[in-house]
Amino acid sequence: MKLQVSSRDASTVPGLLADWLATLLPAGADPAVVLHSGIDANGMSSETLLFDATWTEDGQQRVARYVARVAPAEGDFPVFPSYDLQHQYDAMRVVGELTDVPVPAVSKMEPTGSVLGTPFFLMERIEGVVPQDVLPYTFGDNWLFDGTAEQQRRLQDTTTATLAALHAIPDAASTFAFLDPPYDGANLLERHLARARAWYEFAVPDIGRSETAERALAWLEANLPESSDTVLCWGDARIGNVMYDDFAPVAVLDWEMAAIGPRELDVSWMLFAHWVFQSITDMLEMPGMPDFMNEADVVAAYQEASGETLGDLGWYHVFNGLQWCVIFMRTTARSVHFGEMERPEDIETAMHHKPLMERIMKQVGA
């Protein structure tokens, strides 16, 4: 099973990439490209292409293994209103320069869209395994679900430590100033919330308004917490965006939601993303992984790794629940567009995390 994210004709991609590489390589390089499958089991937004490139340089054949991160075409119902690949590229580059966090090395950037129709950049291809999104890893029959309790805890703790290492980059507000959400607001949280509201309004015309999302927005706006310290937020900080070897991270992927903000945004997102999948298995009366990504365990591991004390996560859980509402709105509209499903009469039926959302909002008194 996979979800279609692009109407691109894959048969044309190798030739287009080879022609583009020829403009970057020495004369007579004569590059050739072999396209492999994208990462079909993961990712709901940008398109990911895996390919090998061969060429001749200094009389010898060279081979490189690349991953291309490609912005979606407007006609393919992108999840986000806009995609700044340059910001993703720069965030990965700076993290690679300043930390030991395993981010793939980025290389060539094509910002114009003249080659594949939308901008893209290349990064090194790393070997490893990723917890799958489709079908979710909580459904069973995959390496993470089948791992021992000790292996699952190793993955949980090493991923949490990796997040803490990202947050430890000094002077994040200035180093990553280009990731400050470009919306009105007196502080970062207000700007994050303004961006989330704009994202929701972007999704509405294609699928309708959501009572759950609007209830969350109203509560969030009325209950903004005090601003805390500012760190680099990976943004889409979930295990489905990490490549693992021996249950430890070897590549931190997908930086399209990167921003500066409070560390609680990332910690909450990592927890909430797992809870979404667990909520789906609960609704289907499947076992899932209810003991994995326990909030108390993750918070304790984060505080030990970072030396920092986290604030209450309730507001951030509601905020991230809102963002998942918009993700489900956009992915549902895209599935309708590609003929994978009928348009639902009520978008609330596509909110696969609705029981989770209602539980969390009850906990915070919303």
Helix (H) or strand (E) holding 153: helix 149-167
In the chain, the N- to C-terminal Cα span, in Å, equals: 36
Beta partners for residue 69, in sequence order: 48, 121
Token pair for 268: 């909450």
> What is the rounded radius of gyration, in angstroms, for the C-alpha atoms of the chain?
21
For the chain, what is the total number of helices (H) and then of strands (E)? Answer: 10, 9
The total of other beta-carbon atoms located within 10 Å of residue 192's CB is 24
E strands in the chain: 32-36, 47-57, 60-70, 106-110, 120-124, 231-233, 242-245, 248-252, 259-261
Catalytic residue among 157, 236, 254, 266: 236
Helix axes 188-207, 314-337, angle to 10 degrees: 30
Q: Is 236 a catalytic residue?
A: yes
E strands in 58-200: 60-70, 106-110, 120-124
Active-site positions read 236
